[in-house]
Structure 1
Amino acid sequence: MIRQFRFAGLVVAGFLIAAQSAFAADDPAGTWLTQAGDAKVKVAKCGGGLCGTVIWLKQPFDTDTGKPATDSKNPNRELAMRPIIGLQLFESMRVDGPSRWSGRIYNADDGQSYDSHISVAGLDTLKVEGCVGSLCGGETWTRAK
């Protein structure tokens, strides 16, 4: 009787681990390294959607001033002074299909926001795409270890 119970317990544990792995493959939550390897973005659920916040920069300080890197390309002078670390990149990112979310993404490289789609392409791969009209470009982020 005890052996049957242990076996049943192992089977249930196996199913739970498999279900958790399948869920994780579709879940973008976590920390992602950008394609260029110059930033890490923490993706988390917030307000019924997703938030993506810069949590690490390869070069966190401005080389000219020695001060923390700021959103200097932003056309709004007040926003141009905010630090890049802590900057929220995703806006209104909502489910748009299996393993896919749509909303807006902020690009600190040019200070503009774009229509965007992100999709989980595996346990360690996130496709990030931004579009202006019908012209789209994107990159692949990898899960940070």
Structure 2
Amino acid sequence: MKNLTLFVASILLACNIFAQDSKGIIGKWQNPSGEGRIEIKKVGEKYAGTLYWLKEPNDENGQPKKDKKNPDASKRTRTIQGSQILEGFTAKDNGVYEGGTIYDPKSGKTYSCKMTLKGDKLDIRGFVGLSLLGRTETWTRVE
């Protein structure tokens, strides 16, 4: 009887874990500072993310913030809110998404990136060259 209870509990736990990950990374995420929210979608066979919400979308003059630090001069007049900051990710095993990049509009720099899904948390690791030489922040799913 004890083994049956343990078996049933294990199955229920496994179903709960798979249910949490059924959406994968598709959805809306907030960065740790609460300054921005990103919506991740599947585009073809890859995943991409758009900065759809900013806590402070306007500059000191009340105008929408522009992507002034973008190295591509043709993109410096675009608004930051609504711009794509994640692109090119491929799903691997165990909730890992690799092969993509993340753009930081504050610095105008683009980094290689790896994302790891952990329930309703998403670890974002931006790096140059090797993943060891990077920084990780954890985003939280929002509804």
TM-score past 0.5 threshold: yes
Match of 1:44 among 41, 49, 52: 41
Percent identical across equivalent pairs?
Answer: 32
Q: Which has the greater radius of gyration?
A: 1
CA shift digits 1:58-92 (9 cap, x unpaired): 001012x2110111111222211111111111121
Q: Which runs of 5+ in 1 are unaligned?
A: 1-14
Match of 1:128 among 111, 124, 131: 124
Q: Aligned-residue CA RMSD in angstroms? A: 1.9
Any runs of at least 4 consecutive aligned residues in structure 1 with deviations exceeding 6 A, and if so which? none
Match of 1:59 among 42, 56, 67: 56
The amino acid across from 1:68 in the alignment is: P
Deviation at 1:23, TM superposition (A): 4.2
Instruction: State how 1:5-44 maps to structure 2 within 5 Å.
Output: 22-25=18-21, 27-44=24-41
TM-score, reference length from structure 2: 0.81
Q: How many residues align?
A: 127
Given the superposition, is the C-alpha separation of residues 50 and 20 from structure 1 closer, same or farther in structure 2, using an over 3 Å criterion?
A: farther
Q: Which runs of 5+ in 2 are unaligned?
A: 1-10
TM-score, reference length from structure 1: 0.79
In 1, Cα distance between the equivalents of 2:34 and 2:106? Answer: 14
